Amino acid sequence: MWHMAAIVTVGALWTATPQSWAWRAGPVLEVLRSAAPRYLPVLAPEPCALVDAHPSSPRRSSVSAEPVGHWAVDRFRSRLLRVHGGLLMVLGLANAALSTWGMQTGEGLMGFLAEHRLGHVGLIQAYLLVALLGFLLVRGARAPDPRFWNRVGACVHLAILPAYILHWDFLAEVAGPGMRNAIGIHLAFLTLECVAGLTRASDAG
């Protein structure tokens, strides 16, 4: 039973920290490829064929060796889109409900909308559009090359930040210290999505 425990332990460590293992193994594989391509064909960058274990089976599948570092970058892009899109959906729907509650009752953080119903007209549309964009980002995480959707995620925050610049005094009065935290979150996701969307694709080299 000890060998089964060892296999389970190694598998758990690999799935728990895939990116750290991938970044450590990537340089090692690159060195092995350049040092001994003739003696280590499995690590060579050229595609290799896998043959079914049964000798009479005609099935063959072509597998191309991909650098592990690129795999980690692609996985980072997809995970970022899922996290980002999920937050946008939750925050968009929550703020849509909060603004509607404030408009109808005059209570809460957005209670001022009871006297400015036109503001609710714009906010409810904006919040629902943010939730829709979040859904699209989550769906875009499944794309083979999700960089386009990373750029869309960055543009979401580029479209929001001008409102903070133009209405800084008003938002500081309404939101207080929380406005700076909100701006920090916008800038953080803007930076991450730009890095993920503007770097080269894994198949680009």
* pLDDT tens digits for range 32-87: 444 444 433 443 444 444 444 444 544 444 444 445 556 688 889 999 999 999 99
Which residues of the chain have a pLDDT value below 70? Answer: 1-71, 201-205
Tell me what pLDDT residue 122 has. Answer: 92
Domain boundaries, the chain: 2-63, 68-204
Residue 145 backbone zone (phi > 0: left; psi -120 to 50: alpha; other: beta): beta
What are the residues whose beta carbons fall under 8 Å from the beta carbon of 149, sequence distance 6 or more?
Answer: 81, 136, 137, 140, 141, 143, 197
- Predicted confidence at residue 202, as pLDDT, reads 57
pTM listed for this prediction: 0.62
The one-letter amino acid at 181? N
The predicted pLDDT at position 18 comes to 42
Q: Residue 167: what pLDDT? A: 86
Q: What is the DSSP string of 17-51?
A: SHHHHHHHHHHHHHHHHHH-TTT-GGGSSS-EEEE
